[in-house]
Amino acid sequence: MDLEIEWGSLVLVLGVAFITTVAVVVLYSVGLRLLSLGDPQSGTARPVAASVAAWTLIGICGAVVLYGVYLVIPQFH
C-alpha cells in the first residue's frame, strides 16, 4: 500500500483558498463600509468617490464569483 500524501498540493489548496476568501471578504466588507458613509439623518450625502470605490470593490467580488461559476461548469473549459 503506497500512501502518497501530496503535501505540496495540500499547502497550495490552503494558500489559494485562504487568499481568495480573505480577498473577497475584505473587498466586500470595505465596499459595505464605504456604502455606509454619509448620514441621511443629518443630511450629509455619501461622497461620490466613496460610491464609485464601493461599487468597484463589490464588482470585483462579483467577477470572482463569475470565475467560480466558470470553474464549476466543465463545458466552459
One character per residue 40-59, x = contact with another protein (rule: CB under 8 A): --------------------
- Cell numbers found for residue 51: 460610491
Q: How many helices (H) and strands (E) does the chain have?
A: 2, 0
- Shortest Cβ distance from residue 47 to another protein (Å)? 15
For 29-43, give one letter per residue: b (16+ CB within 10 A) or e: eebeebbeeeeeeee
- Which residues form the interface with another protein (CB under 8 A)? 1-6, 9-10, 12-14, 16-18, 20-22, 24-26, 28-33, 35-36, 61, 65, 68-69, 71-75
